[in-house]
Structure 1
Amino acid sequence: MTDGIDQTLSNSIVDHVPDDAPCAQEIGFDMPDRYNASEILFGNLGAGRADKVAIYTAAGNTSYGELCARAAQCGNALRSLGLRRGDRVLLLLNDTASYPATFFGAVRAGFVPMLINTLSPKDLIGFYLQDSAAPVAVVDAEYAALFDRETVAGTQLHTLVMLNGEVAVESPVKVLGGDQWFAQFPCELDAAPTSRDDMAFWMYSSGSTGRPKGIVHLQHDMAYTADSFGRHILGIEESDICFSVPKIFFAYGFGNSITFPFSVGASTILLAGRPEPGAVLDLIERFKPTLFFGLPTLYNALLHHPRIETADLSSVRLSLSAAEVLSQDIFNDWKRRFGLEIVEGLGSTEVLHIYLSNTRERRKTGTAGKRVPGYELRLTTPEGQPVAQGEEGVMWIRGHSNAPCYWNRPDKTAQTMRETGWIWTGDRLVEDADGFFTFVGRVDDLIKVSGQWIYPVEIELCLSDHPAVRECAVLGLELPDRRMTTKAFVILRDGHAASETLTRELQDHVKSKLLPHKYPRLIEYRSELPKTGTGKIDRQKLRSAPLVT
């Protein structure tokens, strides 16, 4: 391993996916030992695409030549701070051209960017800094206030770089105005001599069952997803324009917005801020994407927007969905309005993108699809025994984009990254006679709401800390359109009365203590909760009660 890479990672790579595994042979994946993932972007210069638009945004467009120059300036600037090879760089950025420029600049210079959810509260930011030992953070100015003395205390952060504006920040570390600071550095940068199996970047899990886990991805992982999903499912070409509403810090959005378009010299549309349906429709009509990536919650919101009947999506050749189960109603309504069949898939951050997918030619609504070329999979009992076709089993996945480990979490690594390169997903699925897989649920009761994992017990513990709550239970419930939601059943303490004001207060309490997406969407107040014979809350009886919204 290169200098500066911790021994924790070096040990974990010993049992990574073998080069001769059938998954790599199937798609003809062949990667030299010396490789740097920044070639996904910089390779476009050698292909003669310097003047082609790489990124469309409402604020202006960026060519491949301009993007590579910005990335080189960023990498040179980070090197000037005295970072070592393999040092982590925390990124807390909106989806603008600054994101891929900073990401690829850090990778090209031999550093390891960490893609962080922009909704993360201060407590989590402090945890990310502690866990990663990141000496530098590059953030949009609107998030700079999160890095105050309390957040930074006890971490190794020494420099905060602000992009896209400047604000006054009281921080114990050096604060630099990145846009002007980067501009001082050269627009060319040779790639660090990294190995294909060196760390390239991290993403963090949602932390649904405890503190988030740092998911380590290697230099060759992006190229592998480009060869598997990008080439075999999307059929992406240089002429395509991608628009991913899911953000770059999500693995799904990262592949859609960065990996796939840049790997073939296509273009991408980036939307900063909240993906309001009106803003999404504006960008579609303005920039004419050919590949549109969403999730069921987004498609449902678009279908109910006042402009949907006049919206022009004629440029789109393929609509894709992941992260939640797509209902037949949403599929039918989208097809009725635009003549487009939504292609559904299933993936994970640990695998970096989608490994089960429908296609336009072979699909079954409500299923996650078939195996994506380049991945091996199997279903087993919880004890690891194979299950027969048609029987429910836990999904295992192997492919060269699999993360080799969770950072500094050997217990969780041993639980998930099993055997030789296999990942135990914890997802329960059933395979039918045609090879289509249907998602059934989670082994650990995790549920997905708006594309993000939620652990109901975590919300229960948080609600129980509120002075108005005597007892509560939180369940994941399926809505009529097959989307999942969270509902809290709450018994109040004496002196507190149910009201809309209290409901908002409880929801805000969860948002402030956990990530905002974990708040209970529905709250029902009760005088008692059903109990089993052993005195435990009867969750099955609660789940079978009529859904009151």
Structure 2
Amino acid sequence: MAYDADTSIDMTQYESMIDLIEQSALRYGDKTAYSCLKKATSFAEVERLSRAFAAYLQQHTELVKGDRVAIQLPNITQFAIAAYGAMRAGMILVNTNPLYTPRELIHQYNDSGAKALIVLSDLLPTLTDVVASTDIDYVFATHALDMHAAQDIETGSVNFTRLMDAIDTGLSLDYQPVKATLSDLAVLQYTGGTTGLSKGAMLSHGNLIANAMQIKSRIGERLVQGEEVFVAPLPVYHIYAFMVNLVLYFEQGGCSVLIPNPRDISGLIDTLSQHPFTGFAGLNTLFVGLCHQPSFKALDFSHLKVTISGGTALTQAAASMWQQTTGCTISEGYGLSETSPVVSLNAPGLEQLGTIGKPVIETSVKILDLDDNEVPIGEIGELAVSGPQVMQGYWNKPEETAKVMTQDGYFKTGDVALATPDGLHKIVDRKKDMIIVSGFNVYPNEVEDILSNHDAVLECAVVGVDDQHSGEAVKAVIVLSDPNSDEATAKQQIEGYCREQLTAYKVPKIIDFVASLPKSTVGKILRRELRK
């Protein structure tokens, strides 16, 4: 088996993501595209409902091509319908974490200029101040079970339209086909930066299609069009699952089994027992958690042929445990929001544990020194990428874009890596200060900024520490404003404040109080000393 089935990708097959959605829906028709909460939805039905939503956006709102539409939903079929509908109306998606706090939402929606929002009905109560502080004119709400039957949604201070009502109205409207090109923007995928400021990676229709074709070249020999059943426990608002489930497997005619709450391990296993799943995407902690469940070990894995790992480093122990339990190896990959996301991926059956495999086709990777010069093979440096999946830049941030691009057009990832003589790559270290909690990036500056706003905090620093459950945990080291304060009371107050301001995985799990923080001669806090 060759490492790649192809040496180049065909970018003439689809004019845009709109074209990919419509061609795929026509090609696979009555086959199941999405299964969620025991409700199967066919490709034809996804096409019909997304077309109706697109028609509604065109004729019952003042939104125009290029406007940003935010989606704040968990893994439910309505996510795909809303995303495809917004794209088909010419809009740009803003994928949003449903767990974000009002502060985080306001920043993302104002930065993107979002004018519409599709949101889970359970989250409506938290949106009162958010919508009032942004340019959002239209809110569409959906209940998790709306695909089964219309559910009651409580009204509140936020004016909204039921998503399913908008779709019902759109079914009687004429959809006006939108012409989009490969260079048009499709998604603003927000990512943290080393400054802690959230930035929108501008991903074009061409970026997404190219990356789907690149992944397909790497794993395509394992895929049968119209026959695959791929389990999606990872959130589709994250670019990893968005690419795999909403782009690649939809184009391949696969059924994506959406898991709204992967933390419910027994519920996840119950869902798995109902499907002859052929593919699975996860990360290290999920693989380990499942393999420790007797009910998971009792499942039928005879159809499983592709398991992909991303988001955080895969350990030898997790890979071995998964293979022993399921009989399937894990293909570890590497990517970022800025690269749509896949840069590199191990080929199924040819995995080299401890590496991220070879770059996908039409992707060039360099290992650079501090002056952006390429280092010899085997030496470490910053990994930089060039390829058709690399973003167009950061939304409205040309200065930030310039910082991460080399003069010859390579995107500097900030990750330290090395190349092996046989063309593989190894990630040696992550961005210097970034913390990865269960696959999610946490940037210390953002957490420190929140902590510093609390009256009890004089100085603080945030670092990552090893955690057996989440890989890493957030640790805050704090100097109190009043050294005579009761530390137990201060800790309780600070924890409560952080929970109000930060998504749960960003909240410090450990808080230590110290008399002073280690600093350089110029007064810069030395996080590396705290990590020791």
Common fold: TM-score over 0.5: yes
1:216 Cα shift?
Answer: 1.4
Q: Contact 1:325–1:482 (CA<8 Å) still a contact in 2?
A: no
Q: What is the CA–CA distance in structure 2 between the aligned matches of 1:51 and 1:399, rounded to whole Å?
A: 35
Counterpart residue number, 2:104: 124
Q: Structure 2 vs 1, CA of residues 506 and 334 (structure 1 numbering), >3 Å: closer, same or farther?
A: farther
The counterpart of 1:66, out of the listed 16, 24, 45, is 45
Q: What is the CA–CA distance in structure 1 between the aligned matches of 2:230 and 2:262, rounded to whole Å?
A: 18
State yes or no: 1:199 paired with 2:185: yes
Q: Structure 2 vs 1, CA of residues 530 and 413 (structure 1 numbering), >3 Å: closer, same or farther?
A: closer
1:444 Cα shift?
Answer: 4.7
Q: What is the CA–CA distance in structure 2 between the aligned matches of 1:369 and 1:503, rounded to whole Å?
A: 44
Q: What is the CA–CA distance in structure 2 between the aligned matches of 1:474 and 1:252, rounded to whole Å?
A: 26
Q: What is the CA–CA distance in structure 1 between the aligned matches of 2:198 and 2:111, rounded to whole Å?
A: 10
State yes or no: 1:364 paired with 2:352: yes
State yes or no: 1:110 paired with 2:97: no
1:449 Cα shift?
Answer: 2.3
Q: What is the CA–CA distance in structure 1 between the aligned matches of 2:284 and 2:470, rounded to whole Å?
A: 9
Counterpart residue number, 2:329: 341
Counterpart residue number, 2:148: none
The counterpart of 2:217, out of the listed 213, 231, 250, is 231
Counterpart residue number, 2:147: none
1:183 Cα shift?
Answer: 0.6
Q: Contact 1:36–1:107 (CA<8 Å) still a contact in 2?
A: no
Please give the secondary structure, in 2, of the residue aligned with 1:38: helix
Kindly, what percent of the aligned residue pairs are identical? 24
Q: Structure 2 vs 1, CA of residues 280 and 209 (structure 1 numbering), >3 Å: closer, same or farther?
A: farther
1:371 Cα shift?
Answer: 1.4
Q: What is the CA–CA distance in structure 2 between the aligned matches of 1:375 and 1:528, rounded to whole Å?
A: 47
Counterpart residue number, 1:93: 73
1:300 Cα shift?
Answer: 2.4
Please give the secondary structure, in 1, of the residue aligned with 2:463: strand
1:504 Cα shift?
Answer: 5.9
C-alpha deviations, 1:347-369, integer Å up to 9, x for none? 01111122112223322222222
Q: Structure 2 vs 1, CA of residues 243 and 507 (structure 1 numbering), >3 Å: closer, same or farther?
A: farther
1:420 Cα shift?
Answer: 5.3
Alignment of 1:155-304 (within 5 A): 155-164=134-143, 165=151, 166-171=153-158, 174-186=159-171, 189=175, 191-206=177-192, 209-233=195-219, 235=221, 236-238=223-225, 239-304=227-292
Q: What is the CA–CA distance in structure 2 between the aligned matches of 1:298 and 1:513, rounded to whole Å?
A: 27
Q: Structure 2 vs 1, CA of residues 101 and 417 (structure 1 numbering), >3 Å: closer, same or farther?
A: farther
Counterpart residue number, 2:10: 29
Please give the secondary structure, in 2, of the residue aligned with 1:350: helix
1:277 Cα shift?
Answer: 1.9
Q: Contact 1:366–1:438 (CA<8 Å) still a contact in 2?
A: yes
Q: What is the CA–CA distance in structure 2 between the aligned matches of 1:59 and 1:502, rounded to whole Å?
A: 46
Residue identity matched to 1:161: F
Q: What is the CA–CA distance in structure 2 between the aligned matches of 1:351 and 1:412, rounded to whole Å?
A: 16
Please give the secondary structure, in 1, of the residue aligned with 2:244: helix
User: Which blocks of at least 5 consecutive residues in structure 2 are unaligned?
Assistant: 144-150
Q: Contact 1:487–1:521 (CA<8 Å) still a contact in 2?
A: yes
Counterpart residue number, 1:6: none
Q: Contact 1:402–1:421 (CA<8 Å) still a contact in 2?
A: no
Please give the secondary structure, in 2, of the residue aligned with 1:94: coil
Counterpart residue number, 2:502: 514
Residue identity matched to 1:245: P
Q: Structure 2 vs 1, CA of residues 393 and 57 (structure 1 numbering), >3 Å: closer, same or farther?
A: same
Residue identity matched to 1:27: S
1:477 Cα shift?
Answer: 3.1
Q: What is the CA–CA distance in structure 1 between the aligned matches of 2:162 and 2:9, rounded to whole Å?
A: 45
Q: Contact 1:242–1:289 (CA<8 Å) still a contact in 2?
A: yes
Q: Contact 2:218–2:347 (CA<8 Å) still a contact in 1?
A: no
Q: What is the CA–CA distance in structure 2 between the aligned matches of 1:314 and 1:510, rounded to whole Å?
A: 45
Please give the secondary structure, in 2, of the residue aligned with 1:362: coil
What is the TM-score with the length of structure 2 in the denominator?
Answer: 0.89
Q: Structure 2 vs 1, CA of residues 504 and 435 (structure 1 numbering), >3 Å: closer, same or farther?
A: farther
State yes or no: 1:152 paired with 2:138: no
Q: Structure 2 vs 1, CA of residues 535 and 74 (structure 1 numbering), >3 Å: closer, same or farther?
A: closer
Q: Contact 1:491–1:526 (CA<8 Å) still a contact in 2?
A: yes
Alignment of 1:409-428 (within 5 A): 409-419=397-407, 421-428=409-416
More displaced 10-residue stretch of structure 1: 502-511 or 214-223: 502-511
Q: Contact 2:25–2:46 (CA<8 Å) still a contact in 1?
A: no
More displaced 10-residue stretch of structure 1: 510-519 or 220-229: 510-519
C-alpha deviations, 1:359-404, integer Å up to 9, x for none? 2332222222221223111111121111001111111111112110
1:520 Cα shift?
Answer: 2.2
Q: Contact 1:208–1:454 (CA<8 Å) still a contact in 2?
A: no
Q: What is the CA–CA distance in structure 1 between the aligned matches of 2:12 and 2:408, rounded to whole Å?
A: 19
1:527 Cα shift?
Answer: 5.5
Q: Structure 2 vs 1, CA of residues 464 and 330 (structure 1 numbering), >3 Å: closer, same or farther?
A: same
Q: What is the CA–CA distance in structure 1 between the aligned matches of 2:219 and 2:333, rounded to whole Å?
A: 10
Q: What is the CA–CA distance in structure 2 between the aligned matches of 1:192 and 1:303, rounded to whole Å?
A: 46
Q: What is the CA–CA distance in structure 2 between the aligned matches of 1:467 and 1:403, rounded to whole Å?
A: 40
1:432 Cα shift?
Answer: 1.8
1:318 Cα shift?
Answer: 1.9
Q: What is the CA–CA distance in structure 1 between the aligned matches of 2:284 and 2:491, rounded to whole Å?
A: 26
Counterpart residue number, 2:343: 355
Q: What is the CA–CA distance in structure 2 between the aligned matches of 1:180 and 1:509, rounded to whole Å?
A: 38
Please give the secondary structure, in 2, of the residue aligned with 1:476: strand
C-alpha deviations, 1:157-207, integer Å up to 9, x for none? 222111225221213xx5212212211223774531112211122211135
Q: Structure 2 vs 1, CA of residues 469 and 308 (structure 1 numbering), >3 Å: closer, same or farther?
A: farther
Residue identity matched to 1:134: A
Q: Contact 2:365–2:385 (CA<8 Å) still a contact in 1?
A: yes
1:475 Cα shift?
Answer: 1.8
Please give the secondary structure, in 1, of the residue aligned with 2:20: helix
Please give the secondary structure, in 1, of the residue aligned with 2:34: strand
1:31 Cα shift?
Answer: 2.7
More displaced 10-residue stretch of structure 1: 434-443 or 464-473: 464-473
Q: Contact 2:435–2:463 (CA<8 Å) still a contact in 1?
A: no
Q: Contact 1:309–1:337 (CA<8 Å) still a contact in 2?
A: yes
Q: Structure 2 vs 1, CA of residues 497 and 83 (structure 1 numbering), >3 Å: closer, same or farther?
A: same
Q: What is the CA–CA distance in structure 1 between the aligned matches of 2:84 and 2:405, rounded to whole Å?
A: 27
Q: Structure 2 vs 1, CA of residues 460 and 184 (structure 1 numbering), >3 Å: closer, same or farther?
A: closer
Q: What is the CA–CA distance in structure 1 between the aligned matches of 2:224 and 2:399, rounded to whole Å?
A: 41
Q: Contact 1:208–1:455 (CA<8 Å) still a contact in 2?
A: yes
CA root-mean-square deviation: 2.7
Q: Contact 1:36–1:108 (CA<8 Å) still a contact in 2?
A: no
Q: What is the CA–CA distance in structure 1 between the aligned matches of 2:294 and 2:453, rounded to whole Å?
A: 40
More displaced 10-residue stretch of structure 1: 161-170 or 403-412: 161-170
Counterpart residue number, 2:384: 396
